[in-house]
């Protein structure tokens, strides 16, 4: 009996030491886009479960902040949901997935389809009432992301075409916050990651753009025109543990998790 107890204790000790060893091993630090953040967290959890996996620390902060942390050596990988700017092109980058940009309304709003011109008009405050685009006679409440957000940069590039978002817009610091406000305001409009439309306790609806439904399939076949790349960015070509994690993300297993979450395959997907 005593021998059996010692065997059990020894096994438990080995497991504990093994776990401690993995926790203390060199971890990878990722920071940046709040759009990419939940998917990177999922991948980090799945990677850690692998026999050779290690701890990956995923932090938010926005695309610009993540890129800056990579340049300053604070983070190993920056997450970006916008294209790199001219002064960032010296950094190494890889597309891990594509994501649709959803224009969301409250489910009670009768508007189900808008053109890019109409969306631009709304966000430039040239269209101020839902009746101007086939909806009810109600003032439009505009919700947008903050400057430096990859989601906002993508929206400005894909929709605004040089026009400025009105200063009347209510600014939020994450896709989740935009979604929450729209879900509670029948007169509001917002833009978020397509993969986040169905998250949260209260529903929102993603409208069609120029007749094309906001679905991953339509992003993949090109009929839905609002999409952006999700990027991993590093200071130089990755090696060691950073490369190992990126390789996992681009592997069939990593891409399978992203596809299951509603994204479209990246460079190796």
Among residues 110, 116, 115, which one has the least CA distance to residue 134?
110
> pLDDT for 30-41, tens place per residue?
999 988 999 999
Q: What are the phi and psi torsion angles at 202 (to 5°)?
A: -100, 140
> pLDDT for 162-207, tens place per residue?
999 999 999 999 999 999 999 999 999 999 999 889 888 899 999 9
Half-sphere exposure of 118 (CA within 13 A, CB side): 20
pLDDT attached to residue 222: 87
Rounded to two decimals, the pTM is: 0.73
Residue 260 has pLDDT above 80, yes or no: yes
| Cα→Cα distances 102→32, 151, 178, 265, Å | 20, 10, 11, 18
Compute the average pLDDT of residues 128-144. Answer: 98
pLDDT attached to residue 150: 87
Residue 3 has pLDDT above 80, yes or no: no
Please tell me the distance from the alpha carbon of residue 234 to that of residue 241, in angstroms, as a whole number: 13
DSSP classification of residue 129: B
Buried b (16+ CB within 10 A) or exposed e, 157-196: ebbbeeeebeeebebbebbbbbbbbbbebebbbbbbbbbb
Q: Which three-class secondary structure state does DSSP give residue 182?
A: helix
């Amino acid at each position: 009996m005593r021998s059996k107890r010692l065997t059990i204790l020894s096994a438990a000790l080995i497991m504990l030491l093994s776990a401690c060893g993995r926790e203390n091993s060199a971890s990878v630090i990722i920071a940046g886009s709040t759009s990419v953040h939940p998917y990177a967290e999922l991948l980090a959890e799945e990677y850690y479960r692998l026999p050779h996996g290690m701890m990956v620390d995923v932090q938010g902060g926005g695309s610009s902040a993540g890129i800056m942390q990579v340049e300053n050596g604070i983070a190993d990988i920056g997450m970006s949901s916008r294209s790199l700017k001219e002064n960032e092109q010296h950094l190494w980058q890889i597309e891990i997935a594509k994501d649709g940009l959803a224009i969301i309304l409250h489910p009670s709003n009768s508007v189900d389809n808008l053109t890019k011109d109409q969306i631009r008009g709304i966000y430039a405050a040239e269209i101020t009432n839902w009746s101007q685009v086939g909806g009810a006679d109600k003032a439009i409440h505009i919700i947008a992301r903050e400057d430096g957000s990859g989601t906002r940069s993508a929206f400005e590039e894909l929709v605004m075409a040089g026009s400025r978002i009105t200063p009347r817009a209510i600014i939020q610091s994450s896709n989740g916050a935009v979604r929450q406000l729209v879900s509670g305001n029948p007169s509001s409009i917002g833009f978020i990651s397509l993969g986040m439309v169905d998250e949260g306790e209260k529903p929102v609806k993603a409208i069609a753009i120029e007749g094309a439904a906001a679905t991953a399939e339509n992003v993949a076949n090109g009929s839905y025109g609002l999409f952006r790349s999700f990027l991993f960015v590093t200071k130089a070509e990755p090696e060691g543990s950073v490369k190992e994690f990126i390789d996992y993300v681009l592997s069939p297993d990593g891409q399978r998790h992203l596809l299951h979450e509603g994204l479209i395959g990246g460079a190796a997907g």
